[in-house]
Amino acid sequence: MVNWIWMGMIVFSVIFGAANGKMEKVAEAAFGGAQTGVTVCLGLISILVFWMGLMRIAEDAGLVQKLSRLLAPIVRRLFPDVPSDHPAMGYILSNMSANLLGLGNAATPMGIKAMQELQKLNATPTVATPAMCTLLALNTASITLVPTTMIAIRMNFGSVHPADIVAPTLLATLISTGAAILIDRWYRKRNKYPPTSTKMIPHPSGAVSPTTQMKPSAPPGGG
């Protein structure tokens, strides 16, 4: 898909440029664009170096685990068919906490490990389970606390207040994550999925069952 978009943009540019008699500008733009690409990346170095250093401190201080413990009661309800002491739950929690802290590099391996654990509960290994779909929905919406890259680019182009997009970004990300959870719920109920695993616990519809409420927070982080 990306291949087609990229090629399509370039081919259409040349066709349109020829039709509008703007060939010279198109050629200029090709090199100008390449130059902007490099300049912007070099401008990203300062903020990425600083921010990733700060985030390593957060990781080493165990903030991911701390946040996992706080998130556990909510997250368990989002995954009613994953036993709360299953290793998958630990990885799911780490994945979500790392996402929330903006630790993209730590979130992805945790998410993949969570998928691998969820796959063990899957009777039909090529078909996604509802829990896998929920985990994916949360990751595509991806709650963002600080949009570092965008702040860096705004700074490079001389913004007066580069960070003033923090609040709208937070607002938008909360709404889209909420929407992802609701839309996922809706499809989950509409597409009945046959119970595939003996390890599945019954869905506590309506009332909260003691299993989801009283479970002491198992060591999250998983690994």
Partner 1 sequence: MISLIQIISTWTIPVLIAFIPLYASFRKIPVYESFIDGAKDGFQTAIGIIPHLVGMMTAISMFRASGAMDALIGLVRPLMESFGIPGDVLPLALLRPITGAGSLAFVTDLIKEQGPDSFVARIASTIQGSTDTTLYVLTVYFGAVGIRNSRYALKVGLLSDLVGFFAAVAACWLLFGLV
Scan residues 95-124 and list those touching partner 1 (CB under 8 A). 105, 108, 111-112, 115-116, 118-119
Longest dimension (CA), the chain: 72
Q: How far is the CB of 83 from partner 1 (least distance, A)?
A: 19
Decide if residue 197 touches partner 1 (CB under 8 A). Answer: no
The answer to whether 123 and 196 are in contact (CB under 8 A) is: yes
Decide if residue 49 touches partner 1 (CB under 8 A). Answer: yes
Decide if residue 70 touches partner 1 (CB under 8 A). Answer: no
Q: Closer CB to partner 1, residue 12 or residue 208?
A: 12
Distance CA 80, CA 93 (A): 14
The answer to whether 135 and 111 are in contact (CB under 8 A) is: yes
Size of residue set near partner 1 by CB under 8 A = 103
Decide if residue 139 touches partner 1 (CB under 8 A). Answer: yes
Scan residues 147-186 and list those touching partner 1 (CB under 8 A). 147, 149-150, 153-154, 157-173, 175-177, 179-180, 183-184
Q: Closer CB to partner 1, residue 72 or residue 106?
A: 106
Q: Tokens at residue 41, please?
A: 């990346």
Distance CA 30, CA 23 (A): 11
Scan residues 71-100 and list those touching partner 1 (CB under 8 A). none
Distance CA 220, CA 66 (A): 9
For 223, counting Cβ atoms within 10 Å of its Cβ (0-12 exposed, 13-18 middle, 19+ buried), the class is exposed
Q: How far is the CB of 117 from partner 1 (least distance, A)?
A: 9
